[in-house]
Chain A
Amino acid sequence: MPSFSERTLVLAIGNASRGDDGLGWAFADAVEASGFPGTIAQRYQLQIEDAELCSHYEQVVFVDAWKTAQTTLWEWMPCTPSREAAFTTHALSPQAVLYLCESVFDCRPEAWLLLLRGTQWELGQPLSATAQDALAQGVKSFCASTNQSLR
C-alpha cells in the first residue's frame, strides 16, 4: 500500500443525489475530516482539465462508487494511462485523464483507483447499509496509508 502525503490528490467522483453514487463524495468528506494533508477535489465526472490538475501532484487517488457482482466491499487497484476513443470528451475515465496528463503536461503521477461497493442508485436515496460499510472500510484503509486517524 502506498503512503499518501500532502503531494497526494484525491479525486472523488460521484453524485450525492443518486444514492450510493454519492460514495466518492462521502469518502472525500470523511477523509477531509480526518485531517488528510493532501488535496481533495469532488467531481460529477472527470474532465479534460483534470489532467492539468493531476500534473501538480506526485500521487493521485481516484475514488468512485463500484457496481459489482462481487461481495468485496472495497478494492484498491493501480491505475495507468490509457488512450481511449469515445464519442464525447466531457466524461473521461481515470486512465484517459492520466494519458492526457502524460501526453500534454509530461507528468505521470503514481495513481490508484479506490472502488467502494454500492447497491442502490436512485434519486434521493441515502447510502445503503452496504455502501456505509464500504465507506467505513475504505476510509480506514486510506487513513492507515496517511498515518491519519479518524476524528
Chain B
Amino acid sequence: MSKKITIDPVTRVEGHGRVTIHLDDAGRVADTRFHIVEFRGFERFIQGHPYWEAPALVQRLCGICPVSHHLAAAKAVDRLEGLEPEDLSPAANLQRRLAHYGQMFQSHALHFFYLAAPDLLFGIDAPAAQRNVAALAMADQSLARKGILMRKFGQEIIRSVAGKRIHGMVAVPGGVFKPYDSTDRDYFLDGKAIPSIDTMIDWSLETLAMLKDYHQKHHAFLDSFAAYPSGHLGLVGSNGEMELYHGRIRGLDASGNQTLRDVPDDHYRRYFSEGVESWSYMKFPYLTHLGRENGWSRVGPLARVNVCDYIPTPLAEQERQEFKARSDGWPNHKTMHYHWARLIEILHSAEVIRDILHDPNLLSTDILRTGERRSEGIGVIEAPRGTLIHHYEANEKGMLTRCNLIVSTTHNNEPMNRAVREVAQQTLNLQPEITETMLNGIEVAIRAYDPCLSCATHAIGQMPLQVEIWNAEGQLVQEKIRD
C-alpha cells in the first residue's frame, strides 16, 4: 500500500511550511511537495498608499531582513522620483550600503550560528532537543559567544543608520534620512564598547576555517547531501564582480553557460515568469525563454558565489578562489555548500563595512537629490537569501496602483522542492520505518537555503514544519508535527 509522509512544522526556518511525501505501493518515493501555507497579501493592500510610504510599509514583511525590503523599495521609489542609483549622492549610497551589508552580516550570522551550526556540530541524527543554540552554548561557549556578538554587531550597524535595529528608517526618496554620525563610526572602529570591525573580520575568518576543517572531516556528507545540478542567478557589478546592492542580473545554467547576460535590473519583466501550483501560496519563478521545466534557478549565497567572476575584497576573494577550486571551475551544485558560501559572504560584508566606515564621504551632509517624476519604478537588490525584486507603479497623484514582489525565497521554491525530493529518495525509499533522523534530513536540506517563508508569501508567521506520509489510496499513514 502506498503512503504519504508529512513533516509539519519545519523547524529553525522563518515562517510555516509543510512537506508531504507520497510513497508508491512498493514504498518508493513517488512525489514530494514543500507546501507554503501562509498568505498575507502585501502586494494588494499597499495599493492606494502614497509611493513614498512603500519603503516603510514593505519592510514589515519581515523581522529578519527588513532592511532588504526597505532598500529594494527605496531603489524603486528613487526611480519613481526620476533618479537612478548613480544619481544619488556618495554619502547616501554609502549609508544605504552600510545598512545593507550590516543586514547581510547579521542575517548570515543568525542563520549560521543559531540555525545551522547545531546540525553540523551535533549531526542530523542528534535529538531535536540538542540541535539548538542553547546546546551549542554548552558544547562550545566561545563559538556561541562569537555568534551572538557578530549578530549584534550587524544589528548595531543597522541601528546606527536606521535609528532602530528592526523596522527603522534608512532611506527616503532620493537619499537617506539623516547624515551619519562620526560617533557611530568611531563606535565600530575603536573596539571600546563592542568588538571592532577588525575583530569581526578576524572572527569571520576563524569561522570559515572551522567550516573548512569540518568539511575535511565530513566531506562525504557535505558534498553529496541533497546535491543536484541547477541554474544559478544573482546580481553582478559592471566588471562581473560580486555586487549585493546594485548591479545587473546574471544567470548561469548547470554547466556554467550564461542564461542571462548581465541584463539591466529594471528589465526583469522581459526575462522572468512566475508559475503557480494549487498546493502552495509561494509562486515558482523561472526564466521565460527556458520555460518552467528548465528555467528555475537557485539564488542566495551559493548562487552568488557561482555567478560572480570575483569578489572585490581581498580576503573574501581568496576564500572564493579556494571554494571554486573544489568544483574545478564548474558551478557548485552542493546544497550544503550554501553554508560555506554564506560564510564567505559574511567575510565579504565585514570587509565592505570596514571600507565604508573608513570612507570620508560617509559623514557628508549632502544626502538628498531630486529628479523628475515617473510612473514606474523597479528596485532589485541581493537580500541575504537571494535576488529580491520590488516593482511599483503610481498614478499622477503619487498613489500606488500596482505592486509586484519577487522575493528571494520564491526563486528557491523549485530548488527547495528538488532538495526535498533528493533527500527523500536518498533516505526514505523502500524503508520499512520512517525515523526521526530521516525526517530531520529533509529539514536540514530546506534549512540550507535559509528560507524566509513569511517573506516569500508576504505572510505573517513562524516556521514550524509539518511532514505527512500518504499512501496510494490517499490515506494519511504517518504525520510529524512540531510546535
- Residue ID in chain A nearest B128 by CB atoms: A85
**A103-B141, A104-B141 are known contacts. Are A87 and B464 too (CB-CB below 8 A)?**
yes
CB distance B148 to A48 under 8 Å? yes
9-residue interface stretch from A64-72, A88-96, A125-133: A88-96
**B151/A89 in contact, CB under 8 A:** no
Instruction: Looking at the assembled complex, report how far the CB atom of A138 sits from the nearest CB atom of chain B, in whole angstroms.
Output: 25
Contacts of A104 in B (CB 8 A): 137, 141, 144-145, 148
A99-B464 Cα distance, complex, nearest whole Å: 23
A115 on interface, CB distance cutoff 8 Å = no
Residue in A52, A99, A105 whose CB lies within 8 Å of B134:
A99
The interface residues of chain B lying within 8 Å CB-to-CB of A135 are none
Interface residues of B in 395-424 (CB under 8 A from A): none
Please determine whether A89 and B63 come into contact, CB atoms closer than 8 angstroms.
no
Given that A49-B155, A52-B149 are known contacts, is A103 also in contact with B137, CB under 8 Å in the complex? yes
Q: How does the 8 Å CB contact mask read for B459-478 relative to A, with 1 for contact and 0 for none?
A: 00011110000000000000
Complex: how many Å from CA A91 to CA B144?
A: 17
**Proximity string of chain B (16-53) to chain A, C-beta cutoff 8 Å, 1 when within and 0 when not:** 00000000000000000000000000000000000000
Q: Which of A48, A51, A84, A87 has the most CB of B within 10 A?
A: A87
Contacts of B482 in A (CB 8 A): 87
Q: With A87-B12, A89-B115 known to touch, is A44 a contact of B63 (CB < 8 Å)?
A: yes
Q: Which residues of A contact B128 (CB under 8 A)?
A: 85
- Asked if B63 and A87 sit within 8 Å, CB to CB, the answer is no
Give the interface centre of A83, A88, A91 by most chain B CB atoms within 10 Å.
A88
Quick check: B138 and A103 within 8 Å, CB to CB? Answer: yes
Q: Is A13's CB within 8 Å of the partner chain B?
A: no
Say whether B392 faces chain A, with CB atoms less than 8 Å apart.
no
CA distance A44 to B63 in the complex (A): 10
CB A11 to nearest CB in B, in angstroms, measures 14
Residues in A with CB closer than 8 Å to B464 are 87
Shortest Cβ distance from A86 into B: residue: B132
Chain B hits for A89, CB < 8 A: 12, 114-115, 132-133
Cβ of B369 < 8 Å from any Cβ of A?
A: no
- Are A100 and B134 within 8 A (Cβ)? yes
- Quick one: closest B residue to A52, CB to CB? B148
User: In terms of DSSP, what is the predominant structure of the interface of chain A?
Assistant: loop
Tell me the complex Cα distance, A83–B130, Å.
Answer: 11
Which B residues are in CB contact (< 8 Å) with A100? 133-134, 137, 144, 148
Chain B positions 121 through 138: 1 when the CB is less than 8 Å from some CB of chain A, otherwise 0: 000000011001110011
Task: Tell me whether B295 is interfacial, beta carbon within 8 Å.
Answer: no
CA of A105 to CA of B145, assembled, Å: 7
Smallest CB gap from B129: residue in A: A85
B2 within 8 A of A: no
Q: Closest CB-CB distance, B311 to chain A, in whole Å?
A: 28
Are A87's CB and B483's CB within 8 A? yes
For the complex, give the distance between the alpha carbons of A63 and B63 in Å.
21
Min CB gap B200→A, angstroms: 15
Contact indicator A87/B462 (Cβ below 8 Å) = yes
CA distance A103 to B137 in the complex (A): 6
**What is the CB-to-nearest-CB distance from B110 to chain A, in angstroms, rounded to a whole number?**
8
- Nearest CB of chain B from residue A102's CB, rounded to whole Å: 9
Known: A89-B115, A104-B148. Is A84-B134 also a contact (CB below 8 A)?
Answer: yes
Shortest beta-carbon distance from B107 to chain A in Å = 12
Contact of B285 with A by CB under 8 A: no
Q: State how many angstroms separate the Cβ of B126 from the closest Cβ of chain A.
A: 12
Q: Does B148 lie within 8 Å of A49, measured CB to CB? A: yes
Known: A49-B155, A103-B134, A104-B141. A87 touches B166 (CB 8 A): no
Cβ contact within 8 Å between A96 and B463: no
Contacts of A103 in B (CB 8 A): 134, 137-138, 141, 144
Most chain B Cβ neighbours within 10 Å, of A49, A90, A103 = A49
Contacts A49-B151, A87-B11, A104-B148 given; does A44 touch B134 at CB 8 Å = no
A84 contacts across to B, CB distance below 8 A: 134
Interface status of B9 (Cβ within 8 A of chain A): yes
* Distance between B66 CB and nearest chain A CB, rounded to angstroms: 12
Q: Which residues of A contact B145 (CB under 8 A)?
A: 104-105
Q: Quick check: is B185 within 8 A (CB to CB) of the other chain? A: no
Q: Which residues of chain A from 42 to 89 have a CB within 8 Å of any chain B CB?
A: 44, 48-49, 51-52, 83-89
Residue B292 lies at the interface, judged by CB distance under 8 Å to chain A: no
Beyond the given pairs A89-B115, A100-B137, 5 more chain A to chain B contacts, judged by CB atoms under 8 angstroms and listed by A's residue number, are A44-B63, A49-B155, A87-B462, A90-B63, A104-B145
Q: Which 10 A-B pairs have the closest CB atoms?
A: A87-B11, A85-B129, A103-B137, A49-B152, A104-B137, A89-B114, A104-B144, A87-B482, A83-B134, A104-B145
8 pairs across A/B with beta carbons < 8 Å?
A49-B148, A52-B152, A87-B465, A89-B115, A90-B63, A100-B133, A100-B134, A104-B137
